[in-house]
Chains A and B, each alone.
Chain A
Amino acid sequence: MTTADPTLEAGAEPTRQWSRHAGVVVPPFLVFVAAIGLWELIVEAFDIQRFLLPRPSEIASLFVEDFGRLIRQGRNTLGVAGRGLLLGGGIGVGLAAITFRTRWMAEGIGIYAAVLKAVPVISLAPLTVVWFGIEAGSKIATVSIATAPILFTYTLVGLRSADANAQELMRSYAAGHFRTFWNLHVPYALPFFFSGLKIAVTIAMIVAIISEYFGGSFENLGGYIRNEANNVHTVEVWTAIVMACLLGISQYMIVAAIDRYVLRWHPSKRGN
């Protein structure tokens, strides 16, 4: 009988794993360096004006110089995105958990979740300002509206994906609703939840920054971009964009890492 021998699997040659990682990392890095180099050359060769397209080297040096302030502003934006995501995610996941057993309820809400996902939520930003004020509250609300339907939909599909036999197994044990939910439905929902979360963190960051364009404090990335753009301080705008990119990417990578760790039993994460 051929059985998978885990001792063999666990030892899967580290050198080969390394070369595989290098294969993933090195080509994009080379493309990045080439693109930045080309950018620098083009600005030089065509003598492009600074306010239209500054040199990457100029952006980089201002980024280093302003790093302290950019981090502070980034933290404020991240705070808005994070709180909005927490609120929106809580509502989305909560509604999914409450309604997934009752088809008509889940579908009743599902339609509105689909509508909300189709609506460019950012168009609601001026309205939330009217309701929740010009400062963080309105921005958090907009982020919640954008992220709740995403997490609702993904979590709902996940909760419903629980294997039919496994559900009958729990029934045969006369397991209570909460037991079955926790021991069976939640593990089935997790991979879907994380897929939704990976999308939602990115959306949360985008919506937070754009919401900040609509007024309020300058002490955040969106406010800073708005202010500097009005004064045609293009290099400053670029440094904020770079910070926004870095924060967005690291946020995504943190979620992806948690996902990989929590779901290491899942077929999509086992490798080979």
Chain B
Amino acid sequence: MTTPDTSRQAAPSGTQTAIAFQGVRKEFGNGANATLAIESVDLDIAEREFVSLIGPSGCGKSTLLRLAADLIEPSGGSVLVNNKTPRQARLDRDYGFIFQAPTLFDWRTVWKNVALPLEIMKISGMSREKKDEEIERLLSMVGLDGFESHHPYQLSGGMQQRVSLARALVFRPSILLMDEPFGALDEITRDRMNLELHRIWEETNTTILFVTHSIPEAVLLSGRVVVMTARPGRVQEVIPIDLPYPRTTEVEESTRYYELVTEVRESLGRAMAGGL
């Protein structure tokens, strides 16, 4: 049996670290009922990097994401986001979080849903016109021109998730934390959303930490794929994805792409075996 490779995974050199997990452990519950969700996770994610977390169900992928977002706190080890505690990073609005469900507010129009973070954050030095411009720009970036005054229920699932993406980008966070954002979409929509997300990632200067169940999705989008073991979650292996940019449909049809998909699948297989 292969031992999980838990050696510290350094971020590509020459760049700043956006998110750093050091010896992170997370337990849920107390005493005898406590379950260990993740253990001794070391992982650095560089600025502007696109990293996917993949692993069997219950491996703690989402837990890692939620730790970075300060939605939960670690039981041990440390998490740094932009060299700050996750709490400070949250207060500084350093990241945008995207859930699997679009989590739109039904009573608000598409426009007002995207405007929500700006209303709450009262970003200084941003005039009303500037805000309106920004919302307009983002809605057109995610392909929703003309849908400004629609309500979420009038949109398909894919369109709703695009609204949620625009809402996360509108306050220009340096980091996007995405928890299986396209998991509930059909294959075709999902494919399109993936390519769009990748284009947006290239256009903006964001760091993306992306949780997914889909191997092809992880390979297509990422600079590195982090394979995790079953509960308790550990880093099994970090696989660099040396596919050319921009990632397009042609890349998806290349031999190298299939090789990498196989490599991740095999690593995932070993991770599952280790967990049994």
Contacts and interface: CB of A to CB of B under 8 A. Distances in A.
Interface residues of B, number: 30
Interface stretch (A61-69, A111-119, A124-132, A264-272): A264-272
A3, A9, A171, A187, most chain B CB atoms within 10 A: A3
Interface in B114-132: 116-117, 119-121
A104 interface: no
A179 interface: yes
A81 B275 CA distance: 66
Contacts of B150: 6
Interface string B89-105: 01101011101010101
A1 interface: yes
A172 B99 CA distance: 12
A168 interface: yes
A2 interface: yes
A3 B96 CA distance: 27
Interface in A1-42: 1-4, 6, 9
A91 to B, nearest CB: 26
B272 interface: no
B154 A173 contact: no
Contact of A265 (B120, B151, B158): B151
Nearest to A263: B107
B120 A187 contact: no
A103 B101 CA distance: 27
A165 B154 contact: no
A166 interface: yes
A173 B103 contact: no
B107 A172 contact: no
Contacts of A173: 93, 116-117, 120-121
Given A3-B159, A169-B97, A173-B93, A163 B103 contact: yes
Interface string B177-194: 000000000001100000
Interface string B127-163: 0000000000000000000000011011110110000
Contacts of B91: 174
B158 A1 contact: yes
A88 B151 CA distance: 35
Chain A interface bracket (under 10, 10 to 19, 20 to 34, 35 or more): 20 to 34
B93 A168 contact: no
A109 B124 CA distance: 42
B154 to A, nearest CB: 5
A6, A169, A270, most chain B CB atoms within 10 A: A169
Contacts of B117: 173
B84 to A, nearest CB: 13
B106 interface: yes
A183 interface: yes
A9 B151 CA distance: 13
Interface string A171-212: 111110001000110010000000000000000000000000
Nearest to A2: B156
B103 A169 contact: yes
Contacts of B10: none
B46 to A, nearest CB: 22
A81 B188 CA distance: 58
A265 B97 contact: no
A163 to B, nearest CB: 7
A2, A173, A174, A179, most chain B CB atoms within 10 A: A173
Contacts of B105: 166, 183-184, 187
B103 A179 contact: no
B164 to A, nearest CB: 9
B273 interface: no
19 contacts: A1-B158, A1-B189, A3-B155, A3-B159, A4-B153, A6-B154, A165-B99, A165-B101, A166-B105, A169-B97, A172-B71, A172-B90, A173-B120, A174-B91, A183-B119, A184-B105, A265-B151, A266-B106, A267-B106
Which 7 residue pairs are nearest across A and B when measured between Cβ atoms?
Answer: A165-B103, A265-B107, A172-B97, A3-B156, A165-B99, A175-B120, A6-B154
Interface of B: 69-71, 90-91, 93, 95-97, 99, 101, 103, 105-107, 116-117, 119-121, 150-151, 153-156, 158-159, 188-189
Given A174-B121, A265-B151, 12 more contacts: A2-B156, A4-B154, A4-B156, A9-B154, A166-B105, A169-B97, A171-B71, A173-B120, A183-B116, A183-B119, A183-B120, A265-B153
